[in-house]
C-alpha cells in the first residue's frame, strides 16, 4: 500500500479540493483525508502510478508538492537534519564572508559545492581560508542579525519529540552556529565543523577532520544504532550534494527546497511547503502538531 500526499505552503494555502479528488479518481485511490484545510491532503493507493512524475511536474506549476511513498512505517523515530538552507534560510559561511568583504567569491564556491561540482572538503578549506583574520565576535553578530529560521522547524521537532522521536542536527557548517540553532529549535544533539580561533580571530583553517558527506552518513548510522533503531526509521532532510548520502540511507530522505541536481536524485521533494511538510509526509494532521 502507498500513500499520496499533496501539500503546499501554509503561508499561501492553495490546495484545491477538486484537484485532490480528480487525482484520487484518476489514480484509483481510496478516500482522501485532509491533514490541514487547503494545505495538505492524502489518499491511499495499491500501486505507484506510471505517470507519477508527469503529474508531479503539473502540480509543481500549481505550487503544490506531490509525494508518493510506502504507507508502512512512515512515522519516523528520528529526524536527522542539515542546517544551512534547511533548518535556517542562509548559508552561515556566506554571511560571514559577506561581513569579511569576500562574499561574492565565497558564495560562488558554496553554490558549486552544494551542486556537487566541487569536492566538499576542499571547498570548505578554501572558503574558511578567505575568512582568515576575521574577528571571532562577528559570529554572534551574524547569528543575531542575519540568520532566520525556516518556518515550521520548531513545530516539526516538538511534534516528533512529543511522539517519542529524537532529533539530531548534522551540518557541514560550524559548531559556532549549530549550537545556537540546536538550542533554539530543540535538537537533542548537533555535529558540525569547527572554526579555529587564535587571539580572538579566525585562523583561516577549519578544525580536522572535516565533517562532510561521509560524516553525515556515519552520524546517521551511529546515532540510530545508539538509539536501537534502524536507518529505515529515520527521516533525513537536506538541500545540498553533501546531504545525498544520508538522504539515500534514511528510510525517508527529503530534499527540501534543494538544488535541482540534488532533488533529481530524491523521491521525496518539497519545493513549496515549509518544514511542517515533513510532518504531513508522516501522516500527522495539523491538529496533532505540538507547539503551534
Catalytic residue ranges? 82, 84
Q: What is the DSSP letter of 88?
A: B
The alpha carbon of 173 is separated from its chain's Cα centroid by a whole number of angstroms, namely: 14
**Taking a C-beta distance cutoff of 8 angstroms, is the pair 221, 250 a contact?**
no
Q: Which three cell numbers stand for residue 19?
A: 484537484
3-state SS, residue 47: coil
- For 106-161, the three-class secondary structure string (H helix, E strand, C coil) is HHHHHHHHHCCCCCHHHHHHHHHHCCCCCECCHHHHHHHHHCCECCCHHHHHHHHH
Q: Which three cell numbers stand for residue 98?
A: 559577506
Grid cell 536527522 — which residue? Answer: 80
Amino acid at each position: 500500500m502507498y500513500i499520496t500526499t499533496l501539500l503546499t505552503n501554509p503561508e499561501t494555502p492553495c490546495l484545491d479540493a477538486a484537484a485532490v479528488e480528480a487525482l484520487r479518481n484518476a489514480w484509483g485511490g481510496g478516500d482522501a483525508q485532509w491533514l490541514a484545510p487547503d494545505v495538505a491532503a492524502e489518499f491511499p493507493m495499491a500501486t505507484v502510478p506510471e505517470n507519477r512524475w508527469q503529474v508531479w511536474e503539473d502540480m509543481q506549476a500549481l505550487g503544490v508538492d506531490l509525494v508518493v511513498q510506502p504507507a508502512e512505517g512512515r512515522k519516523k523515530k528520528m529526524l536527522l537534519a542539515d542546517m544551512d538552507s534547511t533548518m535556517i534560510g542562509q548559508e552561515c559561511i556566506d554571511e560571514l564572508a559577506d561581513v569579511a568583504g569576500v562574499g561574492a567569491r565565497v558564495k560562488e564556491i558554496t553554490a558549486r559545492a552544494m551542486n556537487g561540482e566541487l569536492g566538499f572538503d576542499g571547498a570548505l578549506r578554501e572558503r574558511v581560508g578567505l575568512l582568515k583574520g576575521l574577528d571571532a565576535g562577528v559570529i554572534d553578530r551574524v547569528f543575531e542579525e542575519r540568520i532566520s529560521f525556516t518556518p515550521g522547524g520548531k513545530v516539526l521537532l516538538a511534534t516528533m519529540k512529543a511522539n517519542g522521536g529524537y532529533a539530531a542536527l548534522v551540518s557541514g557548517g560550524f559548531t559556532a552556529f549549530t549550537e545556537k540553532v540546536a538550542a533554539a529549535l530543540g535538537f537533542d544533539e548537533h555535529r558540525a565543523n569547527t572554526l579555529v580561533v587564535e587571539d580572538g580571530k579566525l585562523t583561516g583553517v577549519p578544525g580536522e577532520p572535516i565533517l562532510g558527506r561521509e560524516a553525515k552518513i556515519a552520524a546517521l548510522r551511529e546515532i540510530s544504532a545508539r538509539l536501537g533503531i534502524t536507518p529505515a526509521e529515520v527521516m533525513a532532510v537536506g538541500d545540498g550534494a553533501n546531504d545525498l548520502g544520508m538522504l539515500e540511507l534514511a528510510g525517508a530522505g527529503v530534499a527540501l527546497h534543494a538544488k535541482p541536481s540534488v532533488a533529481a536524485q530524491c523521491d521525496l521533494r518539497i519545493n513549496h511547503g515549509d518544514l511542517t511538510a515533513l510532518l504531513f509526509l508522516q501522516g500527522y494532521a495539523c491538529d496533532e502538531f505540538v507547539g503551534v
